[in-house]
């Protein structure tokens, strides 16, 4: 539906390098990466707000590099909403429809539908200055979606909202996307948004695509130390691997760790902290990757407690608050940690 | 706390004392005119046919020159504000020239220009400027347009370009985004530019004197009329005209401000 081929663009000292992407019709695609990775620049190239130095952009299989912004039929919602301050909510929402000289009856019908979808019927007569952050973003989304564009580009739409509002809006967008199957490309640096919303994710680093896949694929099988680190894997190590039967035996710091992935030689590997179980009981958790160690550090992250255990090497485990309290763990305790061979991902 | 409050009060008194001194200075200078002549003399000067002609000519020429200033400034300032292009810095300097150079230089330059082959060609083909009413308009335009461009550029600069980009993604062409979004958003700045351009035009004197001369009932605008009275030693008449001009300008600015506030 939207395809980018070999996109290159230099802006100042920053460069987008050889970007290749394909976004399917109806897909919720998230471009995820740290600040300054070039996420918004890709959106701007798709919308036509930035010209590409080289490469091709296809919208509905049509080469669109030189199509003017207004003819691309691509909606764009900015980080902090760009509702027109001289128009009220109704006039903002109908702005695109009035440009198309749509009959008034049809406009009213569309406004009614979109307002019900976003729950903003009560805001229609309000000046935009009187709206809260969440309301502004809802109206911005409605203004874009009412035009039924081929795709809507969301440029960090929740970053200027408080956490609760952002979470509510996130859930609403997920519901609306499920109902409308509107193609959406969403740019963010927040993993949680990607986890909740994305059908597929693209990880961007320094202007280059690092990995594309579903959230689960990227989380459990990062293809680089950068991706693993970006997803806060914590446990990223490197060692020497030898294939023994149906497992890889990785030697790290004089300790053997087993992985179900078969690869020999020098390898980097990661273990998700939530896959690392912890127990006081020696017997519990006996298995292929089971180690005895001492708790070095406990960090309270609210629902999740992060526990650093020294088992000859430092390994981080996430524990639910309730389990943590039930075990009564404290720094200096001797504990057993264990994880499955499938949890050891060779990068 | 008390110490903090008192230091803040001292600061407020300090900055306001400068503001008040400045205002008192201006008002004292202007009020000196009011006390110099009797109201009767001012009224009698106002209804002289020469004065009425000067007022009428001042209004007509300043409105026309302001119209042309805005006509050039609206798109010109937008180009300066929104686009990067080679020679932008040079254009910036060129636009500042009528403001920073003494009006005398602009007047002399205009007179010299209309004595060059291009100027003579224009005069021969109907664009008679020297010692004519159009000369007044050109002299006013060359100064007031620079003010209009700078004020309007500042107004455009204050408008986030993403409003226009949003409008474009909603289906606006560049021109539609300009008049449907940008212009309404910087309405205040544009009105300020118009007011400033008009105020400059109506108060212009030296370039008008050089280009259009100071001919009774021909090229006599209000500043020229004041000058002619001074030249003949009619100080009271000159001061009366000064008061009339001040009143006209204040009333016009008040009306425009009112209209602006209503918008």
- Convert the pLDDT of each residue in A21-77 to its tens digit: 999 999 999 999 998 899 999 999 999 999 999 999 999 999 999 999 999 999 999
Contacts of A68 in chain B (CB under 8 A): 173
Contacts of A86 in chain B (CB under 8 A): 184-185, 187
Question: Do both B196 and B93 map to the same domain?
Answer: yes
Question: Do both B14 and B144 map to the same domain?
Answer: no
Nearest CA in chain A to B160: A82
Q: What is the mean pLDDT of residues A152-178?
A: 89
**Does residue A285 have a pLDDT over 70?**
no
% chain B with pLDDT above 90:
71
**Does residue A286 have a pLDDT over 60?**
no
Q: Which domain holds residue B18?
A: 1-36
The tokens of B219 are what? 């090229």
- Convert the pLDDT of each residue in A197-233 to its tens digit: 999 999 999 999 999 999 888 888 888 888 888 876 6
Question: Do both B24 and B63 map to the same domain?
Answer: no
Which residues, at least 6 apart from A283, have a Cβ–Cβ distance to it below 8 Å? none
pLDDT at B188: 87
| CB contact (8 A) between residue B171 and residue A100 | yes
Question: Do both B92 and B172 map to the same domain?
Answer: yes
**Does residue B214 have a pLDDT over 90?**
no
Question: Do both B97 and B167 map to the same domain?
Answer: yes
What letter would DSSP give residue A221? S
Question: Do both B115 and B239 map to the same domain?
Answer: yes
Query: Distance between CA B259 and CA A118 in Å, rounded?
Result: 39
Residue A314 — φ and ψ, nearest 5°?
-80, 130
Nearest to B162 among A78, A95, A143 (CB): A78
Question: Do both B253 and B180 map to the same domain?
Answer: yes
Question: Do both B15 and B117 map to the same domain?
Answer: no
Contacts of B178 in chain A (CB under 8 A): none
Question: Do both B189 and B211 map to the same domain?
Answer: yes
At B126, the pLDDT band (50, 70, 90 cuts) reads confident
Q: What is the mean pLDDT of residues A315-329?
A: 91
**Does residue B260 have a pLDDT over 90?**
no
pLDDT at B55: 93
- The enclosing domain of B80 has a CATH number of 1.10.3720.10
What's the 3-state SS for A122-149? HHCCCEHHHCCHHHHHHHHHHHHHCCCC
Q: What is the mean pLDDT of residues A169-192?
A: 91
For residue B132, CA distances in Å to A259, B127, B135 come to 95, 10, 5
Question: Do both B15 and B44 map to the same domain?
Answer: no
Which residues, at least 6 apart from B110, have a Cβ–Cβ distance to it below 8 Å? B129, B135, B138, B139, B142, B207, B210, B211
Instruction: Please give the residue that has the higher pLDDT: either A301 or B161.
Output: B161
Size of interface A-B (CB pairs under 8 A): 56
Total of domains in chain B: 2
Question: Do both B147 and B91 map to the same domain?
Answer: yes
- Convert the pLDDT of each residue in A111-150 to its tens digit: 999 998 888 999 999 999 989 988 999 999 999 999 999 9
pLDDT at A283: 60
ipTM entry = 0.80
For residue A290, CA distances in Å to A336, A339, A340, B100, B116 come to 7, 7, 9, 81, 97
Cα dihedral sign for B119, B120, B126, B131?
positive
| CB contact (8 A) between residue B169 and residue A78 | no
**Does residue B35 have a pLDDT over 70?**
yes
Question: Do both B6 and B112 map to the same domain?
Answer: no
Q: What residue ranges define each of the domains in chain A, with the CATH number in brackets? A: 2-227 (3.40.50.300), 232-346 (2.40.50.100)
Q: What is the mean pLDDT of residues B193-207?
A: 92
pLDDT at A183: 95
**Which DSSP string do the residues of A263-292 spell out, in sequence order?**
--EEEEEEE-GGG-EEES-SSTT-SSSEEE
pLDDT at A219: 83
- Convert the pLDDT of each residue in A107-121 to its tens digit: 999 999 999 888 899
Which residues, at least 6 apart from B39, have a Cβ–Cβ distance to it below 8 Å? none
**Does residue A287 have a pLDDT over 80?**
no
**A171 at interface of B, judged by CB pairs closer than 8 A:** no
């Amino acid at each position: 539906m939207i395809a980018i081929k070999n996109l290159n663009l230099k802006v100042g000292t920053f460069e987008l390098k050889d970007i290749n992407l394909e976004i399917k019709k109806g897909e919720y695609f998230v471009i995820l990466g740290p600040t300054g990775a070039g996420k918004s620049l890709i959106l701007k190239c798709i919308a036509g707000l930035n010209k590409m130095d080289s490469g091709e952009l296809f919208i509905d299989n049509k080469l669109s590099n030189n199509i003017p912004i207004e003819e691309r039929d691509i909606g764009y919602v900015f980080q902090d909403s760009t509702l027109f301050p001289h128009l009220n909510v109704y006039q903002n929402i109908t702005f695109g429809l009035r440009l198309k000289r749509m009959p008034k009856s049809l406009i009213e019908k569309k406004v009614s539908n979109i307002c019900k979808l976003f729950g903003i019927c009560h805001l229609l007569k309000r000046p935009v200055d009187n709206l809260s952050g969440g309301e502004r973003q809802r109206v911005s989304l409605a203004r874009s979606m009412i035009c039924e564009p081929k795709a809507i580009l969301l440029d960090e739409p929740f970053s200027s909202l408080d956490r609760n509002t952002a979470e509510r809006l996130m859930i609403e967008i997920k519901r609306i996307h499920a109902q409308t199957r509107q193609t959406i490309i969403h740019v963010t640096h927040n993993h949680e948004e990607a986890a909740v919303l994305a059908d597929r994710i693209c990880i961007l680093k320094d202007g280059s695509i690092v990995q594309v896949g579903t959230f689960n694929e990227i989380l459990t099988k990062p293809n680089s130390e950068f991706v693993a680190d970006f997803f806060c894997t914590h446990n990223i190590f490197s060692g020497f691997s030898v294939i023994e039967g149906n497992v890889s035996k990785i030697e790290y710091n004089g300790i053997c760790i087993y992985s179900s992935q078969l690869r020999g030689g020098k390898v980097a590997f990661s273990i998700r902290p939530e896959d690392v179980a912890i127990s006081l009981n020696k017997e519990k958790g006996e298995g292929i990757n089971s180690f005895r160690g001492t708790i070095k550090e406990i960090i309270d992250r609210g629902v999740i407690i992060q526990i650093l255990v020294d088992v000859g090497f430092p390994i981080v485990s996430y524990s639910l608050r309730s389990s943590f309290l039930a075990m009564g763990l404290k720094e200096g305790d001797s504990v057993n940690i264990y994880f499955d061979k499938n949890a050891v991902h060779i990068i | 706390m008390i110490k903090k409050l008192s230091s803040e009060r001292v600061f407020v008194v300090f900055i306001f004392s400068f503001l008040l001194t400045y205002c008192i200075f201006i008002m004292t200078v202007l009020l000196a005119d009011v006390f110099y002549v009797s109201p009767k003399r001012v009224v009698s000067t106002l209804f002289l046919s020469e004065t009425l002609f000067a007022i009428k000519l001042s209004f007509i020429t300043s409105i026309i020159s302001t119209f042309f200033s805005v006509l050039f400034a609206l798109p010109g300032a937008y180009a300066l504000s929104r686009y990067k292009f080679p020679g932008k810095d040079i254009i910036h300097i060129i636009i500042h020239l009528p403001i920073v150079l003494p009006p005398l230089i602009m007047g002399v330059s205009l007179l010299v220009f209309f004595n060059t082959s291009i100027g003579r060609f224009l005069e021969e083909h109907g664009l008679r400027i020297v010692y004519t009413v159009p000369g007044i308009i050109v002299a006013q335009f060359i100064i007031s347009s620079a003010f209009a461009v700078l004020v309007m550029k500042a107004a455009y600069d204050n408008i986030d370009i993403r409003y226009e980009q949003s409008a474009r993604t909603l289906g606006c062409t560049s021109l539609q985004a300009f008049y449907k979004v940008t212009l309404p958003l910087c309405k205040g700045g544009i009105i300020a530019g118009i007011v400033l351009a008009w105020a400059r035009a109506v108060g212009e004197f030296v370039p008008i004197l050089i280009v259009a001369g100071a001919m009774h009932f021909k090229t006599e605008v209000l500043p020229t009329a004041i000058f002619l009275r001074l030249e003949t030693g009619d100080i009271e008449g000159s001061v009366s005209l000064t008061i009339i001009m001040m009143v006209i300008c204040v009333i016009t600015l008040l009306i425009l401000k009112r209209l602006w506030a209503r918008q």
